[in-house]
Amino acid sequence: MKRQLVVERAVEEDLVATTTDILQDSPSAARRFVTAARRTFEQLAQQPEMGRQYQTSHPRLQGLRIWRIRGFTRHLIFYRVTEQTVFIERVLYGGRDIARILDGGD
């Protein structure tokens, strides 16, 4: 069963920032990135169990799941799942200090 998909505002900001970075080197790669991200969001709405639990001791982040963007495997999607909805919360480059960002430090 496909769940409703909710893309949080922070994700749109993440996508703009990442696309801007990629665009400097390759406009075609930037377009592919956005397309791949959106397709991966749709896949997660269809099969939210694809991702694994994000390992953290922070109570606010419990239940968060993680999955890679196809073709851009260093870019990670952080999301939550309810019975009817997949909430895409962040899209982050894997080389960043993810724990600090998710903990509200960026």
Q: Where are the beta strands (DSSP E) in the chain?
A: 4-7, 52-53, 65-69, 72-81, 85-93
In total, how many domains does the chain have? 1
Edge-first strand listing for the sheet containing 65-69 = 4-7, 85-93, 72-81, 65-69, 52-53
- Please check the confidence at residue 100 and state whether its pLDDT lies above 80: yes
Beta strand 4-7 pairing with 85-93 = parallel
Task: List the single range of 4-13, 23-32, 41-50, 94-103 with lowest mean pLDDT.
Answer: 94-103
8 A C-beta contact, residue 44 and residue 29: no
For 10, the domain range is 4-105
pTM, rounded to two decimals: 0.92
pLDDT for the residue numbered 74: 96
Q: What CATH code is carried by the domain that includes residue 97? A: 3.30.2310.20
CA distance 56 to 17: 25
pLDDT for the residue numbered 99: 84
pLDDT confidence band for 103 (50 / 70 / 90): confident
